[in-house]
């Protein structure tokens, strides 16, 4: 049944980026002000997430990798706001650890003395010992899918896997400008935010000066918007001149959660379509607020895709919000 459990885990941890997402969320949940993500070979060889968050005692650590041990209060809150924490439900570490070699070093923020290093391999705790480590937590995932060769074989090229990781880390960095987030791949720092700025500053760190200096603010709510479920649409969209031929730069959030939705993407592209047409995609960081009961989060549990009860109205609202921002800039 170990095999069955591992196959099930492989269904949930689809690829390195899925593990990165869970680890990043844990660091943010732990109230970190800095999170450093390091991956090697697109994450297949190594994923390392180091934070300066609340940290864990030895007992916390042992509990953290156990199956079904943690309470899901945040999860319930998320559900009532309509956008659930999708995926693992208190089993991320356990699940990741069953298809990798997992090492966690941690020290609670306000504890003196040493921290603890726990090693978890193939679903079992193989060692627990004191370790000198900074306050916070360092999670290392080595050799993802080493014991599920079929799943490992499904991984795409390093470049593709890293692109998925990059997108995940980028979305969290943009949504949390008050947290210093860095991403390093195969020894090269890809970006690092300072954790001290606003959205504009985070965009600068992540996408660079050329894009950041041409961003246009979107800020529409209430009567600025056509009728529909969205209460507000805000964020930054790029000047058409900086657009690229890739969707990777659409970072959209519903009630603070990084999700994608066809209606939102179509609304954005509609607004630009009248300006430039073609298949070029803008850089977009857009936050939508909507009553929880107007969103359907159950489209695909892994892919973070949502739908709205009234997709047409949402499309019109997003289109109008972005278009009026572009118009204000004479575009
Ligand atoms: P969940 O986040 O859904 O509770 P996880 O398996 O992701 O489940 O994590 C289990 C528990 O381990 C968390 O609830 C938290 O108490 C603890 N934990 C995990 N990562 C960290 C971290 N980076 N810092 C502090 N505590 C953590
Ligand atoms: Mg978690």
Whether 64 lines ligand 1, by a CB cut-off of 6 Å, is yes
Q: Note the ipTM here.
A: 0.99
Residue in 60, 137, 67 with CA at minimum distance from that of residue 104? 137
Instruction: Take residue 321 and report the two structure tokens written for it.
Output: 């919000």
Tens-binned pLDDT, residue by residue, of the chain (331 aa): 566 666 666 557 889 999 999 999 999 999 999 999 999 999 999 999 999 999 999 999 999 998 764 444 344 344 334 443 434 456 889 989 999 999 999 999 988 788 999 999 988 999 999 999 999 999 999 999 999 998 899 999 999 999 999 999 999 999 999 999 999 999 999 999 999 989 999 999 999 999 999 999 999 999 999 999 999 999 999 988 888 877 788 999 999 888 899 999 999 999 998 555 556 889 999 999 999 888 877 666 566 788 999 999 999 999 999 999 999 998 8
The Å distance, Cα 98 to ligand 2 centre, comes to 15
Coil, strand or helix: which one is 294? Answer: helix
- Rounded Cα–Cα distance for residues 154 and 160 (Å): 12
For residue 225, give the DSSP letter: S
Whether 323 lines ligand 1, by a CB cut-off of 6 Å, is no
Instruction: Take residue 239 and report the two structure tokens written for it.
Output: 């000047």
All residues at 6 or more sequence positions from 198 whose CB lies less than 8 Å from its CB, including other chains: 177
The Å distance, Cα 81 to ligand 1 centre, comes to 21
Whether 56 lines ligand 1, by a CB cut-off of 6 Å, is yes
Atom of ligand 1 nearest to the CA of 89: 3
Coil, strand or helix: which one is 240? Answer: helix
Give strand pairing partners of 116.
106, 130
Q: Within 10 Å of residue 273's Cβ, how many Cβ atoms? A: 13
Atom of ligand 1 nearest to the CA of 54: 25
- To test the ligand 1 pocket, which listed residue (18, 27, 28, 70) has its Cβ within 8 A of the most ligand atoms? 70
Ligand nearest to the CA of 70: 1
């Amino acid at each position: 049944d170990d095999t069955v459990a591992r196959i099930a885990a492989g269904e949930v941890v689809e690829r390195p980026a899925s593990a990165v997402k869970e680890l990043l969320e844990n660091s943010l949940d732990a109230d970190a002000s800095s999170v450093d993500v390091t991956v090697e070979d697109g994450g297949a060889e190594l994923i390392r997430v180091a934070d300066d968050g609340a940290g864990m005692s030895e007992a916390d650590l042992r509990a953290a990798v156990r199956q079904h041990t943690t309470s899901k209060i945040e999860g319930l809150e998320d559900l009532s706001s309509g956008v659930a924490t999708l995926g693992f439900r208190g089993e991320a570490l356990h699940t990741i650890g069953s298809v990798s070699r997992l090492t966690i070093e941690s020290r609670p923020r306000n504890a003196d003395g040493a921290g603890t290093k726990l090693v978890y391999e193939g679903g079992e705790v193989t060692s627990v010992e004191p370790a000198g480590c900074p306050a916070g937590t360092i999670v290392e995932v080595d050799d993802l899918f080493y014991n599920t060769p079929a799943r490992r074989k499904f991984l795409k090229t390093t470049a593709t896997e890293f692109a998925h990781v990059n997108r995940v880390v980028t979305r969290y960095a943009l949504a949390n400008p008050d947290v210093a987030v860095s991403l390093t791949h195969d020894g090269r720092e890809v970006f690092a935010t300072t954790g001290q700025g606003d959205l504009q500053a985070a965009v600068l760190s992540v996408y660079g000066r050329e894009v950041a200096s041409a961003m246009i603010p979107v800020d529409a709510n209430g009567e600025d918007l056509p009728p529909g479920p969205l209460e507000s649409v805000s964020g930054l969209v790029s000047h058409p001149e900086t657009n690229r031929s890739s969707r990777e730069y659409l970072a959209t959030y519903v009630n603070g959660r990084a999700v994608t939705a066809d209606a939102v993407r179509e609304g954005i592209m509609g607004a630009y379509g009248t300006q430039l047409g073609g298949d070029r995609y803008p850089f977009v960081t857009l936050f939508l607020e909507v009553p929880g009961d107007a969103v359907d989060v159950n489209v695909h549990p892994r892919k973070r895709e949502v739908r709205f009860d009234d997709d047409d109205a949402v499309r019109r609202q997003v289109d109008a919000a972005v278009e009026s921002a572009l118009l204000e800039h004479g575009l």
